[in-house]
């Protein structure tokens, strides 16, 4: 189990980030889209930090980092490829939302949180 601590930590960090996005989505739904913009910014940045930290920890598990590109090539049959793609997609959406929140936080209350929630669900399914 000592060699697998990075995968456990990766799983916990990414799933916590997805859970926090889902909690914000539920709060938006039940409050009629009336959540303060500062709260949304903090939650999105915290979720992004969790995903990035999880990805960084997962990199420590690689034996030969140069060979890691082969894991992504078989998207149709490999669950590892799907996991890598969906977690990076989720991180990219969160990064775009964090950048967007500085310019127009009203857009986060609508479709952006729904897209982030669905991409998080895809990441959990692939995991």
Tell me: the pLDDT tens digits for 90-126?
999 999 988 887 776 666 666 788 888 899 999 999 8
pLDDT in tens, 23-41: 888 887 777 666 666 777 8
Say what the pTM is: 0.82
Reported as a single tens digit per residue, the pLDDT across 56-102 is 888 777 666 666 666 666 667 777 778 888 888 999 999 998 888 77
Chain centroid to Cα 110, Å, comes to 18
Tokens matching residue 21: 């996005």
């Amino acid at each position: 189990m000592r060699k697998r601590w990075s995968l456990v930590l990766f799983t916990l960090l990414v799933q916590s980030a997805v859970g926090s996005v889902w909690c914000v989505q539920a709060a938006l739904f039940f409050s009629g889209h009336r959540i303060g913009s500062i709260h949304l910014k903090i939650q999105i940045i915290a979720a992004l930090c969790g995903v990035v930290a999880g990805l960084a920890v997962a990199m420590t598990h690689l034996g030969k980092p140069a060979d890691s590109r082969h894991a992504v090539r078989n998207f149709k049959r490999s669950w590892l490829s799907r996991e890598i793609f969906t977690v990076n997609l989720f991180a990219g959406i969160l990064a775009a939302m964090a950048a967007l929140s500085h310019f127009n936080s009203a857009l986060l209350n609508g479709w952006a949180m729904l897209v982030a929630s669905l991409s998080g669900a895809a990441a959990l399914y692939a995991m």
